[in-house]
Every structure is written in structure tokens, then in C-alpha cells.
Structure 1
Amino acid sequence: MLTVAEVDPFDERAFGDWYDALRAGAAADREAPVISTLEALTFSLRNPGERLRRLAVAATQNGETVGAMLFELPLVDDLSNVMVEIDVPPAHRRKGVATALWAWAAERAAAEQRSIFQTEINIPSGFDLHSWPGAAFATKLGFASENTEDHFVTPLPFDPATISLLKANTSALASYRLISWAGQCPEEHLQKYADLHTAMNQDVPTGGLSREASAWDAERVRTNDARLVENYLPLVTMAQTLEGEPAGYTLMYVQLGDRANVLQDDTLVMRDHRGHNLGTHLKLANLDQLAVHHDSPGWIHTWTAESNGPMQKVNARFGFRVVEQMHEFELTSPATAGH
């Protein structure tokens, strides 16, 4: 008999089985998947933050975990939304496992009075919305792809010849200074870094997604960083004008439990400061930091919207190539909307 139930993150055996199913389903048939480590998810679910509630949900049959779902409820912004990730290992697909997990999600969302479902699905090169299992399942449920980003990778260690060529062919940085740090943001930069995060939320393409551009303040940066450093080493480079005004930043994460996969996250140049090669200078400075803190082989990953032409060009200059597309799907449920 197939059953679906929430998993206690303090139950090491059950939570480990849930994670194994999630990882097996999420990684199948992908060249360079990025999956949160067991340590990171254990910490996150055992120590919930103030902005997001996360639940582990397992589908089990005859004592075996055959499917996993991560169910997330925003607690401050986007209060009509719920995020779901459903992963089924290949050996257990086409047996109703995903359908059972989805039924649990729909029922719980209705109880929470949430009407908007969102999910991210990564489609490897060579597949499309109809041939990739997760996308086909979401489409069948009525989800629509509202935003698409290319998932790029480049090998680690980063090619020193590429870095040397970029530095030689990039004009000198004038009228700006770069400030870099590893770990938590220094106190003297908290507010400027918060302002840049707010600008990033307002600037990043989100397509047709129902998502609020939330604001950051110094305390949010401080709290977020304190949680991050439990499982990641953040590497940040910030650009300021000579007068001290924030002009841009780039952010990279080294996963402490999976050093083979380094995540290049945000890169932002404020609109008034574009056209000065700041994006390239920011990335080069952060790669210099990475060389100090990381020496393992693997991949750097980054994601860029198809519509973001300037950053697509920067990625190409740094030698990144596309391995898949990340689709952000959304479904508004009439049943929960009227709950």
C-alpha cells in the first residue's frame, strides 16, 4: 500500500531514506545536477527560519521510501504561494507515486489557504517540456512555465589561461573600488549589501511568476548569513563608487558538504553603473577569492535568464556552457483559491 506522510527531520533513519529518494529522483539523467546536501537540508528543517517553513514528505510502500517531496511555505512575503519539489527515483516512476505526493500537497495547501503552486524543473539539453518526465507531469497537472533560465557550468579548477586573458582584455577599473569578503558580511557593509539585495530582487527577471520583490535590511542580511555559514562558505565581492555608494555585487557559495559543486549566485550591476565592465571585474575578483578557499575538482554553476543578454555574454566570456534549462512553473488552483 502506498502511503504519504510528513517526515520528522529528527528521525535520522526516516529522514535519510527521504533524502536518498529525493537525491536519486533529482539527479537521474542529468549531467551536472545541483542538489542540496543532506547536512544542509537537515540543518534547515531542524532549525526553521522566520521567513520560510519547510516540510519533508515521503511516499512509502512496503517499508521502502519510493518518492520524496520538499514542501515550502513562505511566511513573510508571497503568502498565497507554496513551493513544491517532487522527486521519484526512476525505478518507482509511472506507479502513481508523484500523483500521491501531489494530492498531499494540494490538500495541505488548501488547509493553509494557499492557492498558488510554484516549482522548479531542470530539463537537460536534448529534452523538452513534453519529453522530460517532471515537466510532462507538471504540464499534465496544469502548471505553465512562467520563467526560464539557462543553467551553465564550467570546470573547476577554473582555467588560469581564461582568467589571464580576461584580465588582459578588460579595461582598468576607474571610479570604483572592489571590496571582497568570505563568510558573513562585515558589519560596516551590512546596509549597503542589503540595498544591493533589494535592487537585485527588483531587477531579476521573473517572467510571469506571482512573486513579490521583497526588501532587505541589515538585520535580514545578518540573519541570513548566520544560517548560511552553517553549510556554505559565501564569497562576496561588492563594487562601490569612490564616494562609497553601492554599485554592484557578485555572490558565490562553496558547499561545505559538496565541494565539487560551487554555486555562482547573484551578480548585479546597478543600472546607473552599467557599461564599465563592472560585471567582469566583480566575477574576476570573486574567482581570485575562490582560488584561495577552494582547490577541489568539480563545477561552477550559474543560472541566467534567456532574456538577460548582457549576463549571457559575460557567461560566454568566462567559458560557461549550457547543460540544461531551469523552468519555473506555476499553477493557480481554483479549489484552494476559494478555500
Structure 2
Amino acid sequence: MSDIEILPIDPLDNALVDAWIAMQNAIAAHDRPGDALYSPAHQRLRLFLYPASVAVERYVAQVDGLVVGGFELVLFLQDNQHLASFELEVHPDHRRRGVGTRLLEFMEQRVAELGRDTLLAGVSETVEGGPAMDHSGREFAKARGYKAVDNEIHRRNDLFAVEDDDLATLYADAWAKAAGYELVQWVNHAPEDIVEGIAAMRARMYTDPPMGEELDIRPAHFDVERVRDEERVRADRGELQLAAAVRHVESGEVAGLTDILVLPGDETHAGQNDTIVDPAHRGKRLGTILKIANQRLLREYRPKLRYVHTWNAEVNSHMIAINEAIGYRRYCRDIDVQKKLA
């Protein structure tokens, strides 16, 4: 282990950044077959641009000048200041040689120095009907004291296989149960008259979805300034954010929200971001309206894009039913693993 060098990523070191991205894509292709690869353009932009609500640190591990691993550490600044979220990666050809252990020791020490006491990451495992995942991350986390605290099912929607007539029927049936609501859609910048409601919906994402009792995620501070800052960062990084909200006409309240992100340089995959309906407005099929409307908007903007990925808590039967009805199918299980530092 003595020949492993850990150093921060210098965004201006082109050779180092190239090697880091190549390593990440080798890992993605090996561990998660059929999933999106990393966009070189987007990864470079992420090195320079991130929201004011977080601090980000990135390191690589080198052996004889070769990048063999690395990690990304995200520190929340406006809330959840006990928490450090991370992704730790080791090239498939260099596993079981102490690289991951060395990186984890370095990272845990760094997190302790920063005054955080909770570490949170994700690992994947195979589900019936999905491709075979590499389980080395799951086993590595377990062996080093990380406890599984929540499960989500990662689903993927093949838009080329979706029947538009079936969606049209679902959409019309949903609107028949949603009298008194209206749809608002936008690209990249939420309308001024609903942005406060959007901030409230973003905050609810930290508390409303089902999650494990031991998962230590605490209420978030979301206001208009934070929403606008995240929009600016996404635009500067070249991300396309397609969003939809439903508003209760009489009260003007934002009752639900969903959005999809398309990263620069990727014309095959997109990722579902938040989807939430306020508890006071549930039972009106608003989730179905939101998901179908936004899926249609995606097809309008990116007609050749094929896959959309989403994640739901394994016990969130209502949202799972909506997603499966519009074409999402199980891809893998993503497990949140957490460790409390002594």
C-alpha cells in the first residue's frame, strides 16, 4: 500500500482529468452494464461549477503515475452539516490490492477533520429481470463497517418501447380525477409566480419520501435563492432541466413537481430528478399527470434520447405503480450505506 499516492484533482491538469474520466467509464461499463457512461464534457464542468449549498472535494489514487481509483466528497453547507456524502471508485483491474482501503481511510480522516460524523454512499446489487451488477462495492462497504440503511429500486424507461396511445389513455383518465388543477411546464428556469412553491417542494424531498429509520438525512433549508442558484449552475454546466408542476387553481398552491435532467454530451440517457406531490393534494392522480407531461416534453426536446432512469424507495408502492404504468422497468437495487464516525 505504500506506493499508493492520493492527490486532489487539479481541474487544469488535462492529463489527470482525462485519466480520471477514463477510469470512471471503465468502472461504469464493468459494474453497471447498460447504464449511462460519464460525459467527459459534463465531468469537466462539474470540476468548476457546483451549487453554493455544497462544498465538493475530489481526489484520485495513483500507482506509478496511473490513476487507479478516486473519490468525490460532497459536504452540505446550509443543512445536514453532520453529513458527508461520497462516491468511492476503484478501477476493476486494480481491486483487492489495498487501493479502496487506502482511499477510504484517507477520506474518513478528512471527514473527521471537517467536523462531520456521518458518511453516506450508495452501492448496487442485481435484481430479478435486470442485468448482472458487480457486487464488490456492496461487499467492500459491509466489510468496513457501513450499514445498509435504505433500499431504492433503480428503474429504466425505454422510451422507444412506450406506446403513445396507452400514455394518452392514462393521461386523460388522470385529468378526469384532477378537476381544479392546472399544469405548468418550463425549461431550466421556474416561473416567478411558482418558484416559492417549488422551493417548498424541494425541501419536502428530504422528509416526505419513505426512507429507512436509520438513514440520517435531516430537513433541508430550501428557499428561492437556493432554487435559482441551482438553476444557474445547471445552465452553466450545460444541463437541460425539463420540469412540470401542478398548481391548485383556487389557492394557487404548487401541489406537485417533477423534473428530468439531460447532461451535455449524452443523447441516449436522461435522469429523473425529484418527483413529489404534497400530501394535502394526493389521491388526485397528479403524479401520473406530472410524469406523463414531462416525458412528453422530453420527447419534444430530445426525440432520439432513449432511456430515462429513476429511483424509488422499495416500499413506495404508489410511485412505483405510476412509473411502471408509463414504462419503467427494474434495472438494479441501489442501497444506501451509512457509517457513524466514533
> Does the alignment reach a TM-score above 0.5?
yes
Residue 239 (structure 2) pairs with residue 232 (structure 1): yes
Task: Report if the CA contact (8 A) 1:30-1:124 is conserved.
Answer: no
Q: How many percent identity over aligned positions?
A: 28
Deviates further, 300-309 or 202-211: 202-211
- In the alignment, is the contact (CA less than 8 A) between 1:170 and 1:277 conserved in 2? yes
Residues 1:162 and 1:90: Cα distance change in structure 2 (over 3 Å): farther
* Aligned partner letter, 2:306: G
Match of 1:193 in 2: 198
Range that drifts further, 193-202 or 303-312 = 193-202
Q: What secondary structure sits across from 1:28 in the alignment?
A: helix
Q: 1:212 aligns with which of 196, 214, 218?
A: 218
Contact 1:54/1:72 (<8 A) preserved: yes
Partner of 2:181: 176
Counterparts of 2:24 and 2:134 in 1: how far apart (Å)? 21
Aligned match of 2:207 in 197, 202, 205?
202
CA contact (8 A) 1:10 1:46 kept: no
Partner in structure 2 of residue 166 of structure 1: 170
| Residue number in structure 1 paired with 2:39 | 37
| Aligned residue among 251, 255, 258 for 2:266 | 258
CA distance in 2, matches of 1:158, 1:250: 22
**Residue 202 of structure 1 aligns to a residue in which SS?**
coil
Cα distance per residue 1:14-45 (max 9 Å; x no partner) = 12211221232244232332455333332232
- Please list the CA deviations of residues 198-248 of structure 1 after superposition, one character each: whole Å capped at 9, or x if unmatched: 223221233221112103111111111111122311111111111211111
Structure 2, gaps ≥5 residues long:
none
Matched, 1:151 2:154: yes
In the alignment, what sits opposite 1:337?
A: none
Q: Secondary structure at the match of 1:296?
A: coil
Aligned 8 A contact 2:246 2:255 in 1: yes
The Cα shift of 1:187 comes to 2.2
For residue 165 of structure 1, report the CA deviation from its aligned partner. Answer: 3.8
Tell me, in whole angstroms, the C-alpha distance in 1 between the residues paired with 2:301 and 2:134. Answer: 40
Q: Residues 264 and 301 of structure 1 are in contact (CA less than 8 Å); yes or no, is this contact kept in structure 2? A: yes
Q: Which residue of 2 aligns with 1:267?
A: 275
Gap change, CA 1:76 and 1:297, over 3 Å in 2: closer
One-letter identity of the residue aligned with 2:98:
G
Match of 2:106 in 1: 104
Distance 1:76 1:211, change over 3 A: same
2:166 matched to 1:135?
Answer: no
Is the aligned partner of 1:308 residue 2:316?
A: yes
Tell me the amino acid that sits aligned with residue 20 of structure 2.
W
User: Offset of 1:157 from its aligned partner?
Assistant: 3.5
Inter-CA distance 205–37: structure 2 relative to 1 (3 Å threshold): farther
Q: Distance in 1 between matches of 2:171 and 2:246?
A: 17
Alignment-mate amino acid for residue 91 of structure 2 = P
Q: Is the 8 A contact 1:32 1:323 kept in 2?
A: no
